[in-house]
């Protein structure tokens, strides 16, 4: 059962600073000005306003869905700009149906490549097994797509209008009151609204604020006080457009995702072509932290010297396009190479009071598992459907919406975190037994594989937009639907 605060949240005032006024549950429009400690940014109360922290895929998709249903929102992002392209995300029928419904599919197709198969190889490029993915189009309605991450964010920003995002707004503190929520940013800017959505990634400041407060009240389950489970480091990059005479496979309509398991080296490599004749590469392994000091270990992205040191370690790895990874590194701008921590965690506490978490703030997947972006998008769709179905927004109604959201999404994302952890373990471990397991998994009969993918089909749509035809021949297990409270 997902952790929730059904009984407590409806009659407890939450996390209010000592100078905040005590008010009983009320509609958000009635008492804005007097309840908060920060008063340098007083604004007219809108009808209902959502504060979204983080302009990653989860926050942007949430913003765009709110835009479409006419709920007021603002996105606060700590960075000053959209980051350079460093990686891709995977989108499948589970999100493409809603993306088509929103009218975004033609633009997404321009920055995407459909995936034909996932091929497992040994260090010498010998094929261990191949998982065909072409069947997805007929069975689920869409090919699996590899999509450039930054460009996908860009599509959402253009559609919602860049005025919706406040850049350079690092959120430091969140204050919940009965009549609204307020957050303070690093540059002393203060923003207030009716609810706050922490879409600020794996090391979410909104989550940390919320959990600190709940911990003080003994409301936090023990597992939520524990750190994310770190497994290893990953280095990833995306090349500049490549010469098709040298890399002809890169120009093909479909991309093949290659996974290469190291033998003498402890590295596993993920590599595939992307739209725009680029190659996206990622290497994981335990030796990718050149300086194992605590400080370096904790920093999720590192500077140019460290990039060079790590690239030296993986330079000689062979790649299926011919040559070595060093050839691709030479064609990858340094600021398009990044290190991320491969971490996993599924939290039990998703909301309290006027605060709710989505995306990697509440479920962190191994970055190459292909789940992170999709699950964040599905969180956003579910939450907006539930918010939009609501007619009044008192704290009681908001709590009901958040409970329904967690009830819907938590079991799905918990199972996905578990599966992605198992896959990461399978692909990153060495030794005979791991080799044997990989061989079995990558040579499973099609019906076994498809039946497990069938079980993951949800394909939600936005309830307030006209429905579109679901072309998949395989029916959907469950879909989010309008609820009323």
Q: With respect to ligand FAD, which residue has the nearer C-beta, 75 or 179? A: 75
Give the span between the Cα atoms of 400 and 409, in whole angstroms: 14
**CA triple 113-118-122, angle to 5 deg:** 130
Give the span between the Cα atoms of 368 and 118, in whole angstroms: 13
Rg for the chain, CA atoms, rounded: 23
Q: CB-based contacts of 379: which residues, under 8 Å, 6+ apart?
A: 58, 62, 358, 359, 362, 405, 409, 413
Q: With respect to ligand FAD, which residue has the nearer C-beta, 363 or 400? A: 363
Considering the complex, what minimum distance in angstroms separates the CB of residue 200 from ligand FAD? 4
Give the span between the Cα atoms of 172 and 174, in whole angstroms: 7
3-state class of 252 per DSSP? coil
Considering the complex, what minimum distance in angstroms separates the CB of residue 150 from ligand FAD? 10
Give the span between the Cα atoms of 318 and 123, in whole angstroms: 7
Considering the complex, what minimum distance in angstroms separates the CB of residue 170 from ligand FAD? 5
Q: CB-based contacts of 204: which residues, under 8 Å, 6+ apart?
A: 53, 54, 198, 357, 360, 361, 362
Considering the complex, what minimum distance in angstroms separates the CB of residue 307 from ligand FAD? 13
Alpha carbon distances (Å) from 172 to 76, 78, 115, 204, 278: 11, 10, 40, 10, 37
Considering the complex, what minimum distance in angstroms separates the CB of residue 287 from ligand FAD? 20
Q: With respect to ligand FAD, which residue has the nearer C-beta, 9 or 349? A: 349
Give the span between the Cα atoms of 32 and 391, in whole angstroms: 20
Give the span between the Cα atoms of 260 and 266, in whole angstroms: 11
Asked if residue 29 lies in contact with residue 47, where contact means CB atoms within 8 angstroms, the answer is yes
- Structure token pair of residue 88: 């891709």
Q: With respect to ligand FAD, which residue has the nearer C-beta, 63 or 141? A: 63
Considering the complex, what minimum distance in angstroms separates the CB of residue 37 from ligand FAD? 19
Considering the complex, what minimum distance in angstroms separates the CB of residue 46 from ligand FAD? 21
Q: With respect to ligand FAD, which residue has the nearer C-beta, 360 or 408? A: 360
Considering the complex, what minimum distance in angstroms separates the CB of residue 236 from ligand FAD? 6
Q: Which residue is nearest to ligand FAD (CB)?
A: 56
Considering the complex, what minimum distance in angstroms separates the CB of residue 276 from ligand FAD? 16
Give the span between the Cα atoms of 95 and 143, in whole angstroms: 11
- Structure token pair of residue 320: 């299926």
Q: With respect to ligand FAD, which residue has the nearer C-beta, 337 or 462? A: 337
Q: With respect to ligand FAD, which residue has the nearer C-beta, 386 or 417? A: 417
3-state helix, strand, coil in the chain (%, to 5): 35, 20, 40
Q: With respect to ligand FAD, which residue has the nearer C-beta, 261 or 416? A: 416
Q: Which segments within 10-93 are labelled E, that is strand? A: 49-53, 72-76, 88-91
Q: With respect to ligand FAD, which residue has the nearer C-beta, 321 or 365? A: 365
Give the span between the Cα atoms of 213 and 211, in whole angstroms: 5
Residues binding ligand FAD (CB under 6 A)? 53-59, 76-79, 86-90, 149, 169-171, 199-201, 205, 236, 338, 340, 359-361, 367-368, 370, 372-373, 376
């Amino acid at each position: 059962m997902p952790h929730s605060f059904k009984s407590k949240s409806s009659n407890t005032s939450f996390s209010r600073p000592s100078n905040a006024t005590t008010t009983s549950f009320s509609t958000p429009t009635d008492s804005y000005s007097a309840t908060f400690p920060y008063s340098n940014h007083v604004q007219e109360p809108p009808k209902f306003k959502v504060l979204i922290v983080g302009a990653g895929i989860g926050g942007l998709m949430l913003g765009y869905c709110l835009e479409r249903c006419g709920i007021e929102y603002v996105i606060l992002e700590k960075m000053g700009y959209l980051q350079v392209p460093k990686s891709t995300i995977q989108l499948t029928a589970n999100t493409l149906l809603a993306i088509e419904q929103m009218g975004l599919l033609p633009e997404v197709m321009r920055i995407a490549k459909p995936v034909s198969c996932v091929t497992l190889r040994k260090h010498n490029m010998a094929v261990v097994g191949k998982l065909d993915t072409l069947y997805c189009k007929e069975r689920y309605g869409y090919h699996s797509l590899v999509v450039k991450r930054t460009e996908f964010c860009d599509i959402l920003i253009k559609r919602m209008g860049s005025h919706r995002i406040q850049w350079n707004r690092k959120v430091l503190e969140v204050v919940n009151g009965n009549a609204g929520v307020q957050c303070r940013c690093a540059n002393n800017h203060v923003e207030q609204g009716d609810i706050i959505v922490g879409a600020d990634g794996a090391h979410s400041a909104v989550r940390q604020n919320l959990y600190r407060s709940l911990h003080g009240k003994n409301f936090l389950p023990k597992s939520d006080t524990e750190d994310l489970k770190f497994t290893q480091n990953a280095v990833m990059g995306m090349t500049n457009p490549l010469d098709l005479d040298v890399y002809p496979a890169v120009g093909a309509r479909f991309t093949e995702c290659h996974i290469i398991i190291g033998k003498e080296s402890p590295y596993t490599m993920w590599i595939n072509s992307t739209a725009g004749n680029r190659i996206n590469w990622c290497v994981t392994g335990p030796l990718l932290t050149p300086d194992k000091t605590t400080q370096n270990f904790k920093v999720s992205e590192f500077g140019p010297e460290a990039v060079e040191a790590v690239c030296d370690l993986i330079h000689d790895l062979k790649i299926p396009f011919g040559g070595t990874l060093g050839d691709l590194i030479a064609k990858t701008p340094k600021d398009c190479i990044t290190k991320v921590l491969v971490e996993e965690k599924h939290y039990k506490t998703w909301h309290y009071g006027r605060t709710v978490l989505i995306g990697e703030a509440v479920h962190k997947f191994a970055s190459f598992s292909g789940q992170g972006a999709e699950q964040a998008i599905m969180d956003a769709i579910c939450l907006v459907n539930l918010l939009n179905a609501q007619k009044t927004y008192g704290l009681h109604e908001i709590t009901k919406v958040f409970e329904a959201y967690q009830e819907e999404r938590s079991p799905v994302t918990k199972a996905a975190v578990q599966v992605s952890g198992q896959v990461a373990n399978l692909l990153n471990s060495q030794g005979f037994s791991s080799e044997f397991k990989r061989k079995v998994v990558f040579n499973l009969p099609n019906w076994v594989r498809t039946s497990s993918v069938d079980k993951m089909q949800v394909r939600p749509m936005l309830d307030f937009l006209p429905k579109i035809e679901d072309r998949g021949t395989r029916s959907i297990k469950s879909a989010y639907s309008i609820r009323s409270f």
